[in-house]
Amino acid sequence: MCGLCGEIRFDGRFAGTTAVDLMTTKLTPRGPDDGGILVHGPVALGHRRLSIIDLSPKAAQPMVDSDLGLSIVFNGCIYNYPALRSELEALGYRFFSGGDTEVILKAYHAWGTACVRRFNGMFAFAIHERDSGKVVLARDRFGIKPLYLAEVDGGLLFASSLPALLATGRVDKAIDPVALRFYMSFHAVVPAPRTILKGVRKLPPATLRVVSADGSFSDEVYWRLDFQALPGEDGRSAKDWEDGLFEEVRAAVARRMIADVPVGVLLSGGLDSSLIVGLLAEAGQRDVETFSIGFEEANGEKGDEFSYSDLIAERYATRHHKIFIPEADMIAALPGAIAAMSEPMVSYDNVAFYLLAREVSKRVKVVLSGQGADEIFGGYHWYRPLVDSTDPVTDYAAHFFDRTPERLARHLSPAWLGATDEARAFVAAHFAEDGAPDPVDKALRLDSTVMLVDDPVKRVDNMTMAFGLEARVPFLDHQLAEFAGRIPSSLKLAQNGKGILKEVARRVVPAAVIDREKGYFPVPGLKYIEGSRLDYVRDGLSSRAARQRGLFREDYLASLYENPRDAITPLRGSELWQVGLLELWLQEHGI
């Protein structure tokens, strides 16, 4: 829920409302229900509210507790806030609201920065200490909720979206060449703290930053995902792991039903969303609203999976909504979808989620989504080649990277090339960290804590919040992820991936959905670019702004225009869409 922003000045001047007002205005789609600005000396906080829990004005933000000397702006949901509230009340704290925002304030006062370790949820927040002048910034374990930062003359700006920072007119908009090479190599993923712009950084997931009044700061990484079994778990049978996983998944789904408004489900028809619907039905939820989307086919590839989503909707008697998007509507929506991206994100799913959210938000404010299951349970095809790998970095790069350094040199203009392969070095350093001795687990840890954060998770947040729709992701419950991390990789990779999750799903989901070929959110019109789609992308890449920027070699672009269908990345993406999307994003955001 919501969007937050703020300004902290370190030059002795009071913060004004100008920058924060510009940012909160830009964040209005994230929080259409209410908004507010609070200024206290050198700190200004802004907030836009999407009312989900405690719909009364008592839960409005920025929230101030004068007795404790604390103020907060918060985006997200703390699912275990009722239990934490009871614990805090036992310590003598009294509450004036009924939601989770005030629980964060009291928890911070009671337990300091260690409070984040107690939270089960998705969150980004800023807490201002009145007496010390400190500002505490924090982001949840999987980075489900974003937090962007920009150092500016005299201080620091922060916001829930990068475009909100750009709206102030005070941010360095130069392209970060290292981030560009990540984008072109690491399947469009630019890991935190970088973004595609030099002047904007993002707080990494599972990180808490304490900013002192003089501008100095310290970071604490408060959580890491471990893939080693606990004492006594080595002898667990496959059935034991399945039983334990079933309980963890069921609990994760149940936790995400906490809301004072109806909760729906994005039902793709795949295993993950179908399991969520099945577990809700098992728990007694009736008339759950479910939503599926489909597109026109292209190059013989089907653009919907309605047959599977229909099967689940009929099985569990959901109130199902099928949304079919004609090609003309998809083309018309592209500028809006690109504008909604906080960073350029190449996956076709972005457009699908954007259009789906546009329709879903007309009926509900909260939806559950199946993101994260592939990264947590080994659902992608590049994990199996890592089994017993003696060179997992090379094997991972061969299957996941879009370009080798040699190909990158033929695609990027010479001015943007570097002397080192930063993406490969990043993967090597991540794989070398303790806690994941198995090559498959190394990749699962990287994908779930890095790739997932800056691709699927960011995609869902950006596209749903563009329409004031909150998406919750049960498979990224940190307790579930910790349990899953300890499960032997062989059980995850069984049955062509997600084997153990499939066995759990068999308890509630029809086999026809479980044993089908793996599907993706299909938007074939953006994989096979032709006709008006080709004109749209080519116009962006041949514009005056693009020519002045000179990111790509002209001979490379010419080859893409001539044979766009032939330039498909190892992960089945269109190279033309990848480079075109970057340029279109830059232009859409005035860069």
**Could you list the active site residues?**
2
Element (H, E) at 588: helix 575-588
CA–CA separation, 501 and 497 (whole Å): 9
DSSP 396-422: HHHHH-S--HHHHHHHB-GGG--SS-H
Tokens of 353: 């989620």
CA–CA separation, 284 and 71 (whole Å): 39
CA–CA separation, 429 and 426 (whole Å): 5
DSSP 203-237: PPTTEEEEE-TTS-EEEEE------SPPTT-TT--
Is the distance from CB of 347 to CB of 463 less than 8 angstroms? no
SS (H, E, C) 553-578: CHHHHHHHHHCHHHCECCCCCEHHHH
- For the chain, the farthest-separated pair of C-alpha atoms sits apart, in whole angstroms, at 71
Is the distance from CB of 295 to CB of 351 less than 8 angstroms? no
CA–CA separation, 229 and 233 (whole Å): 6
DSSP code for 202: E
Please, which residues have CB within 8 angstroms of residue 68's CB and are 6 or more apart in sequence? 105, 106, 109
Backbone angles phi and psi of 306, in degrees to 5: -60, -30
Tokens of 497: 């991936």
Is the distance from CB of 42 to CB of 15 less than 8 angstroms? yes
Block residue for tokens 């002795």: 12
Strand pairing partners for 139?
124
Strand pairing partners for 320?
290
Is the distance from CB of 168 to CB of 22 less than 8 angstroms? yes
Is the distance from CB of 346 to CB of 581 less than 8 angstroms? yes
Please, which residues have CB within 8 angstroms of residue 425's CB and are 6 or more apart in sequence? none
Roughly how many angstroms between the first and final C-alpha of the chain, as a whole number? 28
Is the distance from CB of 158 to CB of 3 less than 8 angstroms? no
CA–CA separation, 441 and 377 (whole Å): 10
Strand pairing partners for 425?
none
Please, which residues have CB within 8 angstroms of residue 211's CB and are 6 or more apart in sequence? 8, 134, 135, 136, 137, 156, 217
